[in-house]
Amino acid sequence: APPPGAPMSFADIVDAVSPAVVSIDVRQRVDAGALRQIPGFENFPFDILPEQPEGEQGQDQDVPEQFGSGSGFFISADGYIVTNNHVVENAEEITVRLNDDRELTATLVGTDPETDLAVLRVEGNNFPYVRFETEARPRVGDWVLAIGNPLGLGGTVTAGVVSAYGRQNVDPRTAYVDYMQIDAPINRGNSGGPTF
């Protein structure tokens, strides 16, 4: 038997909220200078991008593309989606795959790199969505579920507890320090997914 207060299963919660969780695929151009910004790579002795055949330098199609993916979730019935900023940063094209396998093109509404959040929008109505909790404050030790839709493979769920409050961002360039820490495993491709 579970300890007092623990649910026998999280399946009812997952059934209720997982339709709002989406997979996000992005297409980006490779930033040739990005690797040189990583400490230790500033003075790399060779070009990061492959050499182009003579006479083709400077053409847009010569810049390599890269693809990435993550998760996100609807916060309104009219198509607004929250994800992580790092999932969609520098994206030239964003595709959202819904729980029912529909694929929609998304536009970027706004980003906040300091909190690593981004808002997207897809055209349409009557999307399943979830609301942010604004009143209750989970206690350290309370259950938490992390839900994602990684790499277009379908939903994934992990469970853990609230570990701590007031955790700092390890990036010294940001001032935001009031993160809630959880110990639910975050599967690859879950970035941008919600917790419940």
Which of 135, 109, 137, 143 minimizes the C-alpha distance to 123? 109
Q: How far is CA 61 from the centre of its chain?
A: 28
Q: Which of 86, 101, 112, 163 is catalytic?
A: 86
Helix (H, G, I), strand (E, B) or coil at 162: strand
Q: Which of 18, 23, 69, 191 is catalytic?
A: 191
Q: Which of 116, 142, 178, 183 is catalytic?
A: 116
CB contact at 8 A, 120 and 108: yes
Helix (H, G, I), strand (E, B) or coil at 92: strand
**116 tagged catalytic:** yes
Decide the pairing of beta strands 179-182 and 21-29: unpaired
Look at the block and give the residue holding tokens 């050499």. Answer: 51
> Phi and psi dihedrals of 152, rounded to 5?
70, 15
Helix (H, G, I), strand (E, B) or coil at 159: strand
The number of residues in the chain equals: 196
Which of 8, 23, 10 minimizes the C-alpha distance to 159? 10
**86 tagged catalytic:** yes
**171 tagged catalytic:** no
The span from the CA of 61 to the CA of 131, in Å, is 41
Residues classed as catalytic? 86, 116, 191
